[in-house]
Structure 1
Amino acid sequence: MQITPDSQIIFTLPLGPLGEWGVSATIVYTWVVMAVLVIGGRIATLGILSSAATIEPTSRWRIGIETVIEMIRDQIREIGGGDPGRYLPFIGTLFLFTLVSNLMGVIPGFMSPTGSLSTTVALALCVLVAVPIYGIAEDGLLGYLRHYFEPTPLMAPFNIIGELSRTIALAVRLYGNVMSGTVVVAVLLAVVPFFFPVLLQLLGLLTGVVQAYIIAVLAMVYIASASGDEPGAAENQIKNKETGA
Protein backbone atom coordinates (compact mmCIF):
# COMPACT_ATOMS: atom_id res chain seq x y z
CA MET A 1 0.00 0.00 0.00
CA GLN A 2 1.50 3.33 -1.11
CA ILE A 3 0.45 6.12 1.21
CA THR A 4 2.90 8.94 0.55
CA PRO A 5 2.87 10.35 -3.01
CA ASP A 6 6.67 10.38 -3.04
CA SER A 7 6.72 6.59 -3.23
CA GLN A 8 4.47 6.37 -6.30
CA ILE A 9 6.16 6.89 -9.68
CA ILE A 10 3.69 8.03 -12.35
CA PHE A 11 6.05 7.93 -15.33
CA THR A 12 9.75 8.10 -16.14
CA LEU A 13 11.71 10.51 -18.30
CA PRO A 14 14.74 9.22 -20.23
CA LEU A 15 17.92 11.17 -19.51
CA GLY A 16 20.18 9.48 -22.05
CA PRO A 17 23.42 8.22 -20.52
CA LEU A 18 22.25 9.36 -17.09
CA GLY A 19 19.48 6.78 -17.08
CA GLU A 20 15.88 7.63 -16.23
CA TRP A 21 14.22 10.08 -13.90
CA GLY A 22 11.07 8.89 -12.16
CA VAL A 23 8.37 11.56 -11.87
CA SER A 24 6.55 10.97 -8.59
CA ALA A 25 2.90 11.53 -7.81
CA THR A 26 3.93 14.51 -5.68
CA ILE A 27 5.15 16.43 -8.73
CA VAL A 28 2.25 15.40 -10.96
CA TYR A 29 -0.48 16.21 -8.45
CA THR A 30 1.23 19.47 -7.48
CA TRP A 31 0.94 20.57 -11.09
CA VAL A 32 -2.69 19.42 -11.10
CA VAL A 33 -3.43 21.60 -8.10
CA MET A 34 -1.66 24.57 -9.69
CA ALA A 35 -3.65 24.05 -12.89
CA VAL A 36 -6.90 24.03 -10.91
CA LEU A 37 -5.94 27.27 -9.16
CA VAL A 38 -4.88 28.99 -12.40
CA ILE A 39 -8.00 27.92 -14.28
CA GLY A 40 -10.24 28.81 -11.35
CA GLY A 41 -8.59 32.21 -11.02
CA ARG A 42 -8.94 32.84 -14.72
CA ILE A 43 -12.63 31.94 -14.69
CA ALA A 44 -13.19 34.15 -11.66
CA THR A 45 -11.63 37.19 -13.38
CA LEU A 46 -13.35 36.86 -16.75
CA GLY A 47 -15.01 40.15 -17.64
CA ILE A 48 -13.77 41.82 -14.46
CA LEU A 49 -12.79 45.02 -16.30
CA SER A 50 -16.13 45.38 -18.02
CA SER A 51 -18.12 44.67 -14.87
CA ALA A 52 -16.03 47.13 -12.86
CA ALA A 53 -17.55 50.01 -14.80
CA THR A 54 -21.09 48.99 -13.85
CA ILE A 55 -22.91 48.38 -10.61
CA GLU A 56 -24.62 45.24 -11.80
CA PRO A 57 -24.23 42.21 -9.51
CA THR A 58 -21.56 39.72 -10.54
CA SER A 59 -21.91 35.97 -10.89
CA ARG A 60 -22.18 33.68 -7.90
CA TRP A 61 -18.76 32.27 -8.72
CA ARG A 62 -17.22 35.74 -8.59
CA ILE A 63 -19.06 36.55 -5.38
CA GLY A 64 -17.75 33.36 -3.80
CA ILE A 65 -14.16 34.12 -4.80
CA GLU A 66 -14.44 37.69 -3.57
CA THR A 67 -15.84 36.44 -0.26
CA VAL A 68 -12.85 34.14 0.22
CA ILE A 69 -10.45 36.99 -0.61
CA GLU A 70 -12.16 39.32 1.84
CA MET A 71 -11.95 36.66 4.54
CA ILE A 72 -8.22 36.32 3.93
CA ARG A 73 -7.79 40.10 3.98
CA ASP A 74 -9.70 40.35 7.27
CA GLN A 75 -7.49 37.69 8.87
CA ILE A 76 -4.32 39.42 7.63
CA ARG A 77 -5.56 42.77 8.92
CA GLU A 78 -6.41 41.29 12.31
CA ILE A 79 -3.03 39.59 12.69
CA GLY A 80 -0.69 42.13 11.16
CA GLY A 81 -2.59 45.31 11.80
CA GLY A 82 -1.40 46.84 8.51
CA ASP A 83 -2.41 46.98 4.88
CA PRO A 84 -3.42 43.42 3.86
CA GLY A 85 -2.69 44.17 0.21
CA ARG A 86 1.04 43.72 0.83
CA TYR A 87 0.66 40.20 2.19
CA LEU A 88 -2.39 38.97 0.27
CA PRO A 89 -0.56 37.49 -2.76
CA PHE A 90 1.74 35.33 -0.65
CA ILE A 91 -0.60 34.39 2.21
CA GLY A 92 -3.56 33.91 -0.14
CA THR A 93 -1.57 31.65 -2.45
CA LEU A 94 -0.23 29.63 0.48
CA PHE A 95 -3.73 29.20 1.89
CA LEU A 96 -5.43 28.33 -1.39
CA PHE A 97 -2.73 25.88 -2.48
CA THR A 98 -2.87 24.04 0.85
CA LEU A 99 -6.67 24.13 0.95
CA VAL A 100 -7.18 22.85 -2.60
CA SER A 101 -4.51 20.17 -2.13
CA ASN A 102 -6.17 18.91 1.04
CA LEU A 103 -9.71 19.03 -0.34
CA MET A 104 -8.78 17.24 -3.55
CA GLY A 105 -7.34 14.46 -1.42
CA VAL A 106 -10.89 13.08 -1.02
CA ILE A 107 -11.07 12.37 -4.76
CA PRO A 108 -10.50 8.65 -5.38
CA GLY A 109 -7.05 8.07 -6.83
CA PHE A 110 -5.80 11.57 -6.02
CA MET A 111 -2.89 11.77 -3.57
CA SER A 112 -2.64 15.15 -1.87
CA PRO A 113 0.76 16.80 -2.43
CA THR A 114 0.65 18.10 1.14
CA GLY A 115 0.90 14.47 2.26
CA SER A 116 4.51 14.57 1.06
CA LEU A 117 7.23 15.82 3.36
CA SER A 118 9.04 17.38 0.38
CA THR A 119 6.00 19.57 -0.37
CA THR A 120 5.50 20.70 3.21
CA VAL A 121 9.22 21.46 3.56
CA ALA A 122 9.03 23.53 0.36
CA LEU A 123 6.07 25.50 1.75
CA ALA A 124 7.91 26.05 5.03
CA LEU A 125 11.01 27.24 3.15
CA CYS A 126 8.82 29.72 1.26
CA VAL A 127 7.72 31.10 4.63
CA LEU A 128 11.34 31.14 5.84
CA VAL A 129 12.35 33.26 2.83
CA ALA A 130 9.25 35.48 2.99
CA VAL A 131 9.79 36.45 6.64
CA PRO A 132 13.08 38.37 6.12
CA ILE A 133 11.89 39.79 2.78
CA TYR A 134 8.80 41.36 4.36
CA GLY A 135 10.76 42.30 7.47
CA ILE A 136 13.46 44.12 5.49
CA ALA A 137 10.85 45.81 3.31
CA GLU A 138 9.11 47.11 6.44
CA ASP A 139 12.01 48.05 8.71
CA GLY A 140 15.05 48.10 6.44
CA LEU A 141 18.02 45.75 6.65
CA LEU A 142 19.45 47.12 9.88
CA GLY A 143 16.05 47.36 11.51
CA TYR A 144 15.28 43.74 10.67
CA LEU A 145 18.66 42.45 11.87
CA ARG A 146 18.15 44.35 15.10
CA HIS A 147 15.34 41.92 15.98
CA TYR A 148 17.86 39.14 16.36
CA PHE A 149 19.74 41.08 19.05
CA GLU A 150 16.75 41.87 21.24
CA PRO A 151 16.52 42.09 24.18
CA THR A 152 20.29 41.49 24.36
CA PRO A 153 22.97 40.56 21.77
CA LEU A 154 23.52 37.31 23.66
CA MET A 155 20.10 36.18 22.42
CA ALA A 156 21.07 36.37 18.73
CA PRO A 157 22.00 32.65 18.37
CA PHE A 158 18.82 31.60 20.14
CA ASN A 159 16.67 33.88 17.99
CA ILE A 160 18.21 32.42 14.83
CA ILE A 161 17.68 28.87 16.09
CA GLY A 162 14.11 29.75 17.03
CA GLU A 163 13.35 31.04 13.53
CA LEU A 164 14.76 27.91 11.91
CA SER A 165 13.01 25.57 14.36
CA ARG A 166 9.59 27.14 13.84
CA THR A 167 10.03 26.67 10.09
CA ILE A 168 10.75 22.98 10.63
CA ALA A 169 7.77 22.78 12.99
CA LEU A 170 5.57 24.36 10.32
CA ALA A 171 6.51 21.68 7.80
CA VAL A 172 6.20 18.79 10.24
CA ARG A 173 2.86 20.08 11.53
CA LEU A 174 1.24 20.09 8.09
CA TYR A 175 2.84 16.85 6.98
CA GLY A 176 1.99 15.05 10.21
CA ASN A 177 -1.67 16.06 10.16
CA VAL A 178 -2.27 15.21 6.51
CA MET A 179 -0.22 12.04 6.64
CA SER A 180 -1.79 10.77 9.84
CA GLY A 181 -5.24 11.28 8.37
CA THR A 182 -4.25 9.31 5.28
CA VAL A 183 -2.89 6.44 7.36
CA VAL A 184 -6.00 6.27 9.56
CA VAL A 185 -8.28 6.24 6.51
CA ALA A 186 -6.26 3.51 4.83
CA VAL A 187 -6.25 1.31 7.94
CA LEU A 188 -9.95 1.72 8.70
CA LEU A 189 -10.96 1.15 5.08
CA ALA A 190 -8.93 -2.05 5.08
CA VAL A 191 -10.63 -3.24 8.28
CA VAL A 192 -14.21 -2.07 7.77
CA PRO A 193 -14.56 -0.84 4.18
CA PHE A 194 -18.34 -0.36 4.12
CA PHE A 195 -19.07 1.75 7.20
CA PHE A 196 -16.40 4.42 7.53
CA PRO A 197 -15.78 5.94 4.06
CA VAL A 198 -18.36 8.76 4.19
CA LEU A 199 -17.55 9.85 7.75
CA LEU A 200 -13.83 9.73 7.07
CA GLN A 201 -14.19 11.78 3.91
CA LEU A 202 -16.10 14.45 5.85
CA LEU A 203 -13.45 14.40 8.57
CA GLY A 204 -10.75 14.73 5.91
CA LEU A 205 -12.48 17.79 4.46
CA LEU A 206 -12.73 19.43 7.86
CA THR A 207 -9.10 18.67 8.72
CA GLY A 208 -7.95 19.98 5.33
CA VAL A 209 -9.69 23.31 5.82
CA VAL A 210 -8.38 23.71 9.37
CA GLN A 211 -4.79 22.88 8.39
CA ALA A 212 -4.86 25.32 5.47
CA TYR A 213 -6.10 28.02 7.85
CA ILE A 214 -3.44 27.20 10.45
CA ILE A 215 -0.47 27.26 8.06
CA ALA A 216 -1.63 30.57 6.55
CA VAL A 217 -2.14 32.17 9.97
CA LEU A 218 1.20 30.91 11.27
CA ALA A 219 2.96 32.31 8.20
CA MET A 220 1.29 35.67 8.76
CA VAL A 221 2.21 35.62 12.46
CA TYR A 222 5.87 35.04 11.59
CA ILE A 223 5.85 37.80 8.98
CA ALA A 224 4.08 40.22 11.33
CA SER A 225 6.64 39.48 14.04
CA ALA A 226 9.51 40.16 11.65
CA SER A 227 7.86 43.42 10.60
CA GLY A 228 7.56 44.62 14.18
CA ASP A 229 3.77 44.19 14.36
CA GLU A 230 2.00 42.52 17.24
CA PRO A 231 0.26 39.29 16.22
CA GLY A 232 -2.43 39.93 18.81
CA ALA A 233 -4.90 37.11 19.37
CA ALA A 234 -3.75 35.05 16.40
CA GLU A 235 -2.01 32.42 18.51
CA ASN A 236 -5.17 31.94 20.54
CA GLN A 237 -7.13 31.46 17.31
CA ILE A 238 -4.68 28.75 16.22
CA LYS A 239 -5.00 26.93 19.52
CA ASN A 240 -8.78 27.07 19.37
CA LYS A 241 -8.81 25.74 15.80
CA GLU A 242 -6.46 22.89 16.64
CA THR A 243 -8.50 22.00 19.70
CA GLY A 244 -11.66 21.92 17.61
CA ALA A 245 -9.97 19.78 14.96
Structure 2
Amino acid sequence: MHLSPDEIIYWQLGFVKLNATLVFTWLVMFVLVLSAWLITRNLTKNLTRSRWQNGLEILVETTIQQISEAGLSHPKRYMGFLGSLFLFIATANLLTLFPYFEAPTGSLSTTIALAICVFISVPYYGIKHKGLKKYLLSYAQPSAFMLPFNIIGELSRTLALAVRLFGNMMSGTMIIAILLVISPLIFPVVMSILGLLTGMVQAYIFFVLASVYIAAATSINNTKSSSLNNNAQSKET
Protein backbone atom coordinates (compact mmCIF):
# COMPACT_ATOMS: atom_id res chain seq x y z
CA MET A 1 0.00 0.00 0.00
CA HIS A 2 1.34 3.40 -0.99
CA LEU A 3 0.54 6.47 1.10
CA SER A 4 1.36 8.76 -1.81
CA PRO A 5 1.83 8.38 -5.59
CA ASP A 6 5.24 10.00 -5.04
CA GLU A 7 6.42 6.62 -3.75
CA ILE A 8 5.69 4.88 -7.06
CA ILE A 9 8.79 5.35 -9.24
CA TYR A 10 8.58 4.37 -12.92
CA TRP A 11 11.98 5.64 -14.03
CA GLN A 12 15.00 7.17 -12.33
CA LEU A 13 18.31 8.60 -13.48
CA GLY A 14 20.35 9.87 -10.58
CA PHE A 15 18.24 12.34 -8.63
CA VAL A 16 15.80 12.75 -11.54
CA LYS A 17 12.69 10.64 -10.94
CA LEU A 18 9.56 9.96 -12.93
CA ASN A 19 6.95 9.02 -10.37
CA ALA A 20 3.22 8.33 -10.51
CA THR A 21 2.39 11.89 -9.46
CA LEU A 22 4.02 13.36 -12.57
CA VAL A 23 2.69 10.68 -14.92
CA PHE A 24 -0.92 10.94 -13.79
CA THR A 25 -0.80 14.74 -13.53
CA TRP A 26 0.12 14.88 -17.21
CA LEU A 27 -2.55 12.28 -17.93
CA VAL A 28 -5.21 14.44 -16.24
CA MET A 29 -4.06 17.49 -18.20
CA PHE A 30 -4.14 15.47 -21.44
CA VAL A 31 -7.70 14.30 -20.69
CA LEU A 32 -8.81 17.89 -20.00
CA VAL A 33 -7.18 19.32 -23.13
CA LEU A 34 -8.48 16.52 -25.35
CA SER A 35 -11.99 16.81 -23.89
CA ALA A 36 -11.99 20.58 -24.35
CA TRP A 37 -10.92 20.21 -27.98
CA LEU A 38 -13.48 17.52 -28.77
CA ILE A 39 -16.36 19.41 -27.15
CA THR A 40 -15.57 22.88 -28.48
CA ARG A 41 -14.59 22.02 -32.07
CA ASN A 42 -18.22 22.09 -33.26
CA LEU A 43 -19.79 24.78 -31.08
CA THR A 44 -22.92 26.38 -32.45
CA LYS A 45 -25.36 29.14 -31.53
CA ASN A 46 -28.29 27.32 -33.08
CA LEU A 47 -31.10 25.91 -30.96
CA THR A 48 -30.09 22.40 -31.95
CA ARG A 49 -26.97 21.62 -29.97
CA SER A 50 -25.07 18.52 -28.99
CA ARG A 51 -25.41 17.03 -25.53
CA TRP A 52 -21.74 17.74 -24.92
CA GLN A 53 -22.19 21.44 -25.68
CA ASN A 54 -25.26 21.60 -23.44
CA GLY A 55 -23.30 19.91 -20.65
CA LEU A 56 -20.38 22.30 -21.13
CA GLU A 57 -22.66 25.35 -21.03
CA ILE A 58 -24.30 24.09 -17.83
CA LEU A 59 -20.88 23.56 -16.25
CA VAL A 60 -19.65 27.02 -17.25
CA GLU A 61 -22.81 28.81 -16.10
CA THR A 62 -22.85 26.94 -12.79
CA THR A 63 -19.19 27.76 -12.17
CA ILE A 64 -19.77 31.44 -12.95
CA GLN A 65 -22.74 31.48 -10.58
CA GLN A 66 -20.69 29.91 -7.79
CA ILE A 67 -17.90 32.45 -8.28
CA SER A 68 -20.47 35.25 -8.14
CA GLU A 69 -21.98 33.85 -4.94
CA ALA A 70 -18.51 33.86 -3.37
CA GLY A 71 -18.57 37.66 -3.62
CA LEU A 72 -16.74 38.40 -6.87
CA SER A 73 -18.59 41.08 -8.84
CA HIS A 74 -17.16 40.14 -12.26
CA PRO A 75 -17.00 36.34 -12.12
CA LYS A 76 -15.98 35.86 -15.76
CA ARG A 77 -12.64 37.53 -15.01
CA TYR A 78 -11.76 34.71 -12.64
CA MET A 79 -13.37 31.87 -14.58
CA GLY A 80 -10.16 30.74 -16.26
CA PHE A 81 -8.17 30.32 -13.06
CA LEU A 82 -10.84 29.12 -10.65
CA GLY A 83 -12.56 26.93 -13.22
CA SER A 84 -9.25 25.26 -14.08
CA LEU A 85 -8.60 24.54 -10.40
CA PHE A 86 -11.96 22.86 -9.99
CA LEU A 87 -11.76 20.86 -13.22
CA PHE A 88 -8.26 19.59 -12.49
CA ILE A 89 -9.06 18.44 -8.95
CA ALA A 90 -12.46 17.01 -9.90
CA THR A 91 -11.09 15.13 -12.92
CA ALA A 92 -8.13 13.77 -10.94
CA ASN A 93 -10.50 12.44 -8.28
CA LEU A 94 -13.03 11.16 -10.81
CA LEU A 95 -10.44 9.10 -12.69
CA THR A 96 -9.78 7.05 -9.56
CA LEU A 97 -12.69 4.90 -10.75
CA PHE A 98 -10.28 3.36 -13.25
CA PRO A 99 -7.95 0.59 -12.02
CA TYR A 100 -4.29 1.47 -11.42
CA PHE A 101 -4.95 5.20 -11.60
CA GLU A 102 -3.24 7.12 -8.81
CA ALA A 103 -4.83 10.50 -8.13
CA PRO A 104 -2.13 13.21 -8.15
CA THR A 105 -4.18 15.04 -5.52
CA GLY A 106 -3.08 12.26 -3.15
CA SER A 107 0.42 13.76 -3.29
CA LEU A 108 1.35 16.57 -0.92
CA SER A 109 3.56 18.10 -3.62
CA THR A 110 0.53 18.49 -5.92
CA THR A 111 -1.74 19.98 -3.28
CA ILE A 112 1.01 22.38 -2.18
CA ALA A 113 1.50 23.45 -5.80
CA LEU A 114 -2.24 24.11 -6.15
CA ALA A 115 -2.29 26.04 -2.86
CA ILE A 116 0.70 28.13 -3.98
CA CYS A 117 -1.22 29.03 -7.15
CA VAL A 118 -4.05 30.31 -4.94
CA PHE A 119 -1.54 32.08 -2.68
CA ILE A 120 -0.06 33.95 -5.67
CA SER A 121 -3.43 34.70 -7.25
CA VAL A 122 -4.80 36.42 -4.12
CA PRO A 123 -2.34 39.37 -4.10
CA TYR A 124 -2.33 39.41 -7.91
CA TYR A 125 -6.06 40.01 -8.14
CA GLY A 126 -6.01 42.18 -5.01
CA ILE A 127 -3.36 44.52 -6.41
CA LYS A 128 -5.01 44.51 -9.83
CA HIS A 129 -8.34 45.53 -8.31
CA LYS A 130 -7.25 47.89 -5.50
CA GLY A 131 -3.79 49.03 -6.50
CA LEU A 132 -0.55 48.17 -4.67
CA LYS A 133 -0.87 50.75 -1.89
CA LYS A 134 -4.46 49.95 -0.89
CA TYR A 135 -3.82 46.23 -1.01
CA LEU A 136 -0.76 46.43 1.26
CA LEU A 137 -2.64 48.72 3.66
CA SER A 138 -5.37 46.07 3.96
CA TYR A 139 -2.93 43.93 5.96
CA ALA A 140 -2.88 46.64 8.63
CA GLN A 141 -6.67 46.61 9.08
CA PRO A 142 -8.39 47.28 11.42
CA SER A 143 -5.13 48.48 13.05
CA ALA A 144 -1.38 48.25 12.46
CA PHE A 145 -1.21 45.83 15.41
CA MET A 146 -2.91 43.21 13.23
CA LEU A 147 -0.21 43.30 10.51
CA PRO A 148 1.77 40.22 11.68
CA PHE A 149 -1.41 38.27 12.41
CA ASN A 150 -2.85 39.00 8.96
CA ILE A 151 0.39 37.87 7.32
CA ILE A 152 0.46 34.67 9.41
CA GLY A 153 -3.19 34.08 8.52
CA GLU A 154 -2.39 34.44 4.81
CA LEU A 155 0.36 31.82 5.07
CA SER A 156 -1.56 29.44 7.34
CA ARG A 157 -4.64 29.29 5.15
CA THR A 158 -2.44 28.41 2.16
CA LEU A 159 -0.94 25.54 4.14
CA ALA A 160 -4.43 24.51 5.27
CA LEU A 161 -5.64 24.32 1.66
CA ALA A 162 -2.81 21.95 0.75
CA VAL A 163 -2.97 19.73 3.83
CA ARG A 164 -6.78 19.46 3.82
CA LEU A 165 -6.97 18.19 0.25
CA PHE A 166 -3.99 15.86 0.70
CA GLY A 167 -5.28 14.49 4.01
CA ASN A 168 -8.75 13.71 2.68
CA MET A 169 -7.46 11.96 -0.43
CA MET A 170 -4.82 9.97 1.47
CA SER A 171 -7.23 8.88 4.20
CA GLY A 172 -9.75 7.68 1.62
CA THR A 173 -7.08 5.58 -0.12
CA MET A 174 -5.95 4.03 3.17
CA ILE A 175 -9.49 3.13 4.24
CA ILE A 176 -10.21 1.42 0.91
CA ALA A 177 -6.94 -0.54 1.15
CA ILE A 178 -7.73 -1.69 4.69
CA LEU A 179 -11.27 -2.74 3.78
CA LEU A 180 -9.93 -4.55 0.72
CA VAL A 181 -7.91 -6.79 3.04
CA ILE A 182 -10.80 -7.35 5.45
CA SER A 183 -13.57 -7.89 2.90
CA PRO A 184 -12.35 -7.90 -0.71
CA LEU A 185 -15.80 -8.01 -2.37
CA ILE A 186 -18.33 -5.68 -0.76
CA PHE A 187 -16.79 -2.83 1.23
CA PRO A 188 -14.26 -1.60 -1.38
CA VAL A 189 -17.06 -0.93 -3.88
CA VAL A 190 -19.06 1.07 -1.34
CA MET A 191 -15.98 2.96 -0.17
CA SER A 192 -14.96 3.71 -3.75
CA ILE A 193 -18.33 5.38 -4.32
CA LEU A 194 -18.01 7.31 -1.06
CA GLY A 195 -14.42 8.19 -1.96
CA LEU A 196 -15.57 9.54 -5.31
CA LEU A 197 -18.22 11.65 -3.59
CA THR A 198 -15.63 12.93 -1.12
CA GLY A 199 -13.30 13.79 -3.98
CA MET A 200 -15.96 15.87 -5.70
CA VAL A 201 -16.77 17.63 -2.43
CA GLN A 202 -13.08 18.38 -1.86
CA ALA A 203 -12.77 19.83 -5.36
CA TYR A 204 -15.79 22.05 -4.67
CA ILE A 205 -14.44 23.17 -1.27
CA PHE A 206 -11.02 24.01 -2.72
CA PHE A 207 -12.70 25.97 -5.52
CA VAL A 208 -15.02 27.87 -3.14
CA LEU A 209 -12.25 28.73 -0.66
CA ALA A 210 -10.02 30.00 -3.47
CA SER A 211 -12.92 32.15 -4.72
CA VAL A 212 -13.58 33.54 -1.26
CA TYR A 213 -9.90 34.36 -0.64
CA ILE A 214 -9.73 36.28 -3.92
CA ALA A 215 -13.04 38.00 -3.14
CA ALA A 216 -11.68 39.08 0.24
CA ALA A 217 -8.52 40.44 -1.39
CA THR A 218 -10.45 42.43 -3.99
CA SER A 219 -13.11 43.70 -1.60
CA ILE A 220 -12.71 47.30 -0.46
CA ASN A 221 -15.15 46.90 2.42
CA ASN A 222 -13.35 45.10 5.27
CA THR A 223 -16.64 44.10 6.84
CA LYS A 224 -17.61 42.33 3.67
CA SER A 225 -14.24 40.55 3.60
CA SER A 226 -14.81 39.33 7.13
CA SER A 227 -18.25 37.96 6.24
CA LEU A 228 -16.83 36.23 3.17
CA ASN A 229 -14.25 34.44 5.29
CA ASN A 230 -16.95 33.40 7.72
CA ASN A 231 -18.99 31.99 4.83
CA ALA A 232 -15.94 30.07 3.67
CA GLN A 233 -15.50 28.50 7.07
CA SER A 234 -19.18 27.50 7.20
CA LYS A 235 -18.96 25.87 3.73
CA GLU A 236 -15.79 24.08 4.81
CA THR A 237 -17.53 22.50 7.82
TM-score after normalising by structure 2 = 0.93
* Structure 2 spans left out of the alignment, 5+ residues: none
User: Within 2, Cα distance between the matches of 1:234 and 1:42?
Assistant: 36
Percentage of matched positions with identical amino acids:
50
TM-score after normalising by structure 1 = 0.90
Aligned to 2:197: 206
User: Within 2, Cα distance between the matches of 1:99 and 1:83?
Assistant: 24
Aligned to 2:7: 7
Q: Tell me how many residue pairs correspond in the alignment.
A: 233
**Are 2:35 and 1:40 aligned?**
yes
Aligned to 1:109: 100
Aligned to 1:24: 19
User: Within 1, Cα distance between the matches of 2:50 and 2:58?
Assistant: 12
Give 1:34 shift: 0.3
Residues 135 and 226 in structure 1, CA contact (< 8 A), matched pair in contact too: yes
Deviates more, 1:3-12 or 1:207-216: 3-12
CA RMSD of aligned residues (A): 1.7
Residues 79 and 234 in structure 1, CA contact (< 8 A), matched pair in contact too: no
Instruction: Name the aligned partner's letter for residue 58 of structure 2.
Output: T
Residues 11 and 24 in structure 1, CA contact (< 8 A), matched pair in contact too: yes
Aligned to 1:147: 138
SS of the aligned residue for 2:70 comes to helix
Deviations 1:89-117 (A, max 9, x none): 00000000000011112211000000000
Q: 1:238 to 1:69 in 2, by over 3 A?
A: farther
Q: 1:21 to 1:91 in 2, by over 3 A?
A: same
Instruction: Name the aligned partner's letter for residue 21 of structure 1.
Output: V
SS of the aligned residue for 1:80 comes to coil
User: Within 1, Cα distance between the matches of 2:108 and 2:201?
Assistant: 18
* Structure 1 spans left out of the alignment, 5+ residues: none
Q: 2:71 aligns with which of 70, 80, 84?
A: 80
User: Within 1, Cα distance between the matches of 2:231 and 2:144?
Assistant: 29
User: Within 2, Cα distance between the matches of 1:235 and 1:191?
Assistant: 41
